[in-house]
Chains A and B, each alone.
Chain A
Amino acid sequence: MELAITIIIAIMILGAIYAIHAKDLLSAIITCGIVGYGLVICFLLLKAPDLAIVQIVVETITLIIMVAVVLDSSREERYAKLDSKGYVNAAIGLIVVLVLLYFFRSAAISLDVFGESNLRMASAYINGAAEKTGSANLVTGVVFDFRGYDTLGEATVLVTAVLGVLTILRIRGKK
């Protein structure tokens, strides 16, 4: 199990590295689909079918929107040499990576071993949840009943994003 997940994450890393360095923009977008669909296989291996269904349809819609943006334009990227700004960017990136590595090391020591989670918070949610909420799907019970505020916030974020898109893509002719 751990071996299978490691192999799939390695394939995702290779796909991500190619997607960043591709010359043709359409190839880069399609290779971004490798990372998304590999994530679906990881979710299925980690026994989370709810997340797998949502991720597969959302990834398809994201690919459709990205291809609609790229398809009408010139689809190649003109490669330029690194100039002075590029070196400053790379140095800042290296400093950020070192800081992140330090924080990750100090956090990963206190994580549980992979596969033996301690269930400190969730034991209060799981015991008797099927009788308290009445639903057989525990994730739906947590999302809509125990943590309903988060779902309300997400519905608000979706409405706000739609309003933003409608405002940006509005064409007003001069009358």
Chain B
Amino acid sequence: MIPYVMCFLLFLVGLYGLITQRNLIKIAISMSIMEFSTFLFFALIGYIKGGVAPIVNPAEPDKTYVDPLPQAIVLTAIVIGLATTAMLMAVIIRLYRKYKTFDIREINNLRG
């Protein structure tokens, strides 16, 4: 139970950074931290004590393997997280080129 609670605490730290920070780079870092906590939660669910990595050796069949289904889900999610972060960085660099600041309150006042 304790690893699950710590994983949820990591999610809460990322959420706190997303709500209260004013700098765009800090907001992007907080989103990245929230995504990492969900990957960790999925990997924690599929673990079996005494299991081995899910690669079949044809000379020694019949071992208990760790659950491969959450690992397949997280594999897709990691690459999608990279695509999202890259697009967020493109928007940030465009905003900085135009307004010369990373602060969202000043951009809100300068707009128009």
Contact = CB atoms under 8 A, between A and B. Distances in A.
Interface of A: 1-2, 5-6, 9-10, 12-13, 16-17, 19-20, 25, 28-29, 32, 35-36, 39, 42-43, 46-51, 54-55, 58, 61-62, 65-66, 69-70, 73, 77-78, 80, 85-86, 89-90, 92-93, 96-97, 100, 104, 108, 111, 113-117, 119, 121-122, 125-126, 130, 136-139, 142-143, 147, 150-151, 153-154, 157-158, 161-162, 164-165, 168-169
B78 A58 contact: yes
B110 interface: no
B10 A13 contact: yes
B10 A137 contact: no
A28 B56 CA distance: 41
A150 B3 CA distance: 28
Interface string B70-112: 0111111011111111110111111010000011010000000
B96 A165 contact: no
Given A93-B20, A114-B47, A154 B90 contact: no
A28 B43 contact: no
B57 A136 contact: yes
B85 to A, nearest CB: 6
B89 A116 contact: no
Interface string B23-38: 1011011101100100
Interface of B: 1-10, 12-17, 19-23, 25-26, 28-30, 32-33, 36, 39-40, 43-49, 51-58, 65-69, 71-76, 78-87, 89-94, 96, 102-103, 105
A73 B82 contact: no
Contacts of A29: 25, 29
A54 B79 contact: yes
Give chain B's interface secondary structure class: helix
Nearest to B21: A20
Contact of B15 (A54, A96, A126): A96
Q: Which 4 A-B pairs have the closest CB atoms?
A: A161-B83, A115-B49, A138-B54, A20-B17
Contacts of A10: 6
Contacts of A136: 55-58
A66 B88 CA distance: 10
Contact of B68 (A19, A42, A122, A153): A122
A130 B60 CA distance: 13
Given A139-B72, A157-B80, A28 B49 contact: no
Contacts of B52: 47
Contacts of B21: 20
